[in-house]
Structure 1
Amino acid sequence: MPAKSEAQQMAAGAALAAKRGKKKASELEGAAKSMYDSMDEDELEKMASAKQKDKPKHNSKS
């Protein structure tokens, strides 16, 4: 599932970096930590690799 906002995409990228050992998992906070704990590497890669064009900075809640 692709990210719905730039913030979500950035969090997925941070979690993916931790899954791959390029960043310490203990450094993750908030959404990135939650994604690290609940998603596998393939899911994170799909979310982090989506194009940023036309994405809002943050997903607005209705």
Structure 2
Amino acid sequence: MPTAICPECDEEVYVDADSEQGDIVVCDECGSDLVVVGLDPIELDLRSEEEDDYYDEDEEYDDYD
């Protein structure tokens, strides 16, 4: 399984081999939400508040109860 470095705490983060750019992963060490921004090599960046808002809006529309 490939790894990358967490930009928040500098620890190794395991990333699925089939991950794509834009996928979200969580650092096991510090709990930060990270975005896959590069694939060769695997590169991570902190998930921004704008991305949080985008994903929160999507979740609201997925609930058709």
Q: Provide TM-score, normalisation by structure 1.
A: 0.30
Higher helix content, 1 or 2:
1
Higher strand content, 1 or 2:
2
Q: Provide TM-score, normalisation by structure 2.
A: 0.28
Q: Which has the larger radius of gyration?
A: 2
